[in-house]
Amino acid sequence: MESRRDEAVALRRAGMSMSQIAAALGLRSGGGRLHEWLRGVPPPAWTARPNAKDHLRAQAIEMRGSGLSYREIREQLPVSKSTLSLWLRDVPVSEEHRDAMRRRALESSSSRAETNRALGARRRVDTREAARRQVPELAESELFVAGVVAYWAEGSKNKPWRSGESVRSLTPTRR
């Protein structure tokens, strides 16, 4: 009678996958034991995973060689940054291309900052206008009361060095 290891090797050589061998031998999962038994026995060709993105890899390598950054490559190819990192880690980038990438990144970040500043200013103007539409004209006495309430509440805000998790009354205490 053959040992289970010999059986597993024979099944592998007959062209079975790990999961098929595990099922045939009645193992709950392929696990470490089956891997150990089949070490050094090549898998059947039909189980080999095709490199479905070989054409994308070739394009990415060519693009990186021409000095494009990962972000610029990702804008043109549908692959993740981690995949690009694996594919391109051995592709040399000239110092000239490296400088060009740094320059483009700097230009991009400065234009992004300008855009964000303009958006922030627009949001503030819109918020003020919305508040103006919501609040009718205030009498001077109402404005005074609002200012006093804000003054009293000022000391009860949370601070980074002190959390104000207590409830405070806005009315002054009488003695």
Query: 112-150 pLDDT, tens per residue?
Result: 888 899 999 999 999 988 888 887 777 888 889 888 888
Q: CB under 8 Å to 67, separation ≥6 — which residues?
A: 93, 94, 96, 97, 100, 101
How far is the C-alpha of 88 from the C-alpha of 62, rounded, in Å?
Answer: 10
Is residue 66 domain-resident? yes
Asked if the structure places residue 84 within a domain, the reply is: yes
Task: Please say whether the beta carbons of 18 and 34 come within 8 A.
Answer: yes
pLDDT tens string 7-58 = 989 999 999 888 888 888 888 765 678 888 888 888 888 877 777 688 899 9
How far lies 15's CA from each of 1, 8, 11, 21, 36, in Å? 21, 11, 7, 10, 18
Residue 155 in domain? no
Report field, pTM of the whole predicted structure over 0.85: no
Q: Is the pLDDT reported for residue 64 higher than 70?
A: yes
Q: Are residues 103 and 129 in the same domain?
A: yes
List Cα–Cα distances, 167 to 1, 164, 171, in angstroms: 81, 8, 12
What is the domain range of residue 111? Answer: 98-135
CA distance 143 to 149: 10
Q: Which of 71, 93, 115 is the last residue of a domain?
A: 93
- Same domain for 113 and 130? yes
> Is 161 a domain residue?
no
Q: How many domains does the chain have?
A: 3
166 domain residue, yes or no: no
Same-domain check for residues 11 and 43: yes
